[in-house]
Structure 1
Amino acid sequence: MRISELSRRSGVSIPTIKYYLRDGLLPAGRPTAANQAEYDEQHVHRLRLIRSLIGVRGLSVSATRDVLAAVDEQQGDVHLLLGLVLGALPVERSGRPPRRDGDAEPDDAGAAAGDVAEDVAALAAEMGWKTSPNPPAAQVVAETLETMRALGMDYDWRSLVPYAELADRAARLDLDQLRDAGDPLQQAERAVLLTVLLEPALLALRRLAQEHHSALRFGNG
């Protein structure tokens, strides 16, 4: 297909496509003339993934380039590919997932959070979850627990088990919706859209459900 057709099918403008080509985010097409090239379905999927990473997930062009470099190296590993595009796995500037060789650097400040980190590990073990070492999401959970404790709430990993069970069901639903996307780039794009775009709606649904059950329990009829 010509670049005009590529633009129409991907939803990305021609000037932006040319910018991605110059910047190395999009591989060049097959030359057919001095200033013309042919593009294929992989270019369509790649552009849609770029659009999702930048426009939906909010990554910078530089960060997107790093993610795509890692994606290119992991085309045969869908599990790792999804971890990279969703941010479950951090990406080095080289485009490779960072090594995890027990390179954590404990210090006095980190020791205070050690118990909370152990709580997160205990929660994952309780759920039977297999995750990468020190995933960013686990850090968010640990920081939240630490803040709640600092505010005087008696809250530990056991309190999160019912929520983790709900999250586990939601994750299964997310991945079920990737089955129709056979191409890894399509799966990566759909995973970004399902994760980032649905999160505000899931929070809003929780608020609606809270209002409903509050009315049932405490309302005056």
Structure 2
Amino acid sequence: MRLAELSTRSGVSTATIKYYLREGLLPPGHRVTATQAEYDEKHLRRLRLVRALIQVGRVPIASAREVLTALEDDSLDHNSRLGTAVWALPHGPEPLAGDPATDAARHTVDALLDRIGWRAGRGYGPESPAYGMLVTAVATLARLGYPCAVDDLAPYARSAGQLAVADLDLVERHGSPDEQLEAAVALTVLYEPVLLSLRRLAQAEESNRRYGQGGSPEQA
């Protein structure tokens, strides 16, 4: 397909596609003349991933390039490529060094991971951005006096484990390993607002079940 068709099928303007090409986020097309190139389904799939990262996930260009580089690293196995790509996604603030609340939160997080058995494998160690983000969140809860003991966090961790199964079930619907890796990164970005929305809807439903009169908040 030519650039115009790629733009139509992807929903991304030709100017933006050219920008992604210049930034190395999209591989060059197959040159057919000095001024024209052909693009294929791989370009379309990659463009959709780039759009998910940058336009929807608000991932900075540099971070998006790091994610895509990890996906293309053939020296890594399937699991490591996915882990490296997800690590490159933007995360929350780093834990505060030398902070007593942070130190206590690390102990809580380590105990939580030990309890649910998440200590063996890529992504669970102290160097993981997700680990650091969890430590920061637990430390903040502790500073503000909200529940954040292992018993409080364990139900969330178990629910997250079930969600991870659903995530990878979705990923495995895609055929090739490359397609699965791209889908895993895109779904990580695109499903986070889905999870947030469903959690809030579930909270509203449970609150209404416990405290309401069976109607909407306006009717209660």
Same fold (TM over 0.5): yes
Could you state the TM-score of these two structures normalised by the residue count of structure 2? 0.78
Letter in 1 for 2:104: D
- Separation in structure 2 between the aligned mates of residue 65 and residue 141 of structure 1, nearest angstrom: 25
- Separation in structure 1 between the aligned mates of residue 106 and residue 38 of structure 2, nearest angstrom: 51
What does residue 126 of structure 1 align with? 115
Matched residue SS, 1:149 = helix
**Could you tell which deviates more after superposition, 166-175 or 6-15?**
6-15
Where structure 2 has 5 or more consecutive residues not aligned to the other structure, the ranges are 90-95, 215-220
Sequence identity (%): 44
- Separation in structure 1 between the aligned mates of residue 2 and residue 189 of structure 2, nearest angstrom: 31
1:27 shift after superposition: 1.9
The answer to whether residue 69 in structure 2 is matched with residue 69 in structure 1 is yes
What does residue 159 of structure 1 align with? 152
Give the length in aligned residue pairs. Answer: 204
1:118 shift after superposition: 2.2
Larger RCO, structures 1/2 (Cα 8 Å, 6+ apart): 1
- Separation in structure 2 between the aligned mates of residue 73 and residue 34 of structure 1, nearest angstrom: 30
Could you state the TM-score of these two structures normalised by the residue count of structure 1? 0.78
Letter in 1 for 2:49: L
Q: CA RMSD in A?
A: 2.6
Where structure 1 has 5 or more consecutive residues not aligned to the other structure, the ranges are 92-105
Q: 1:139 aligns with which of 132, 138, 160?
A: 132
CA contact (8 A) 1:49 1:186 kept: no
What does residue 42 of structure 1 align with? 42
What does residue 33 of structure 2 align with? 33
The answer to whether residue 174 in structure 2 is matched with residue 181 in structure 1 is yes
Structure 1 runs of 4+ with >6 Å offset: none
1:75 shift after superposition: 7.7
1:172 shift after superposition: 0.8
What does residue 80 of structure 1 align with? 80
1:77 shift after superposition: 3.2
Q: 2:102 aligns with which of 113, 124, 127?
A: 113
1:178 shift after superposition: 0.9
CA contact (8 A) 1:75 1:184 kept: no
CA contact (8 A) 2:71 2:81 kept: yes
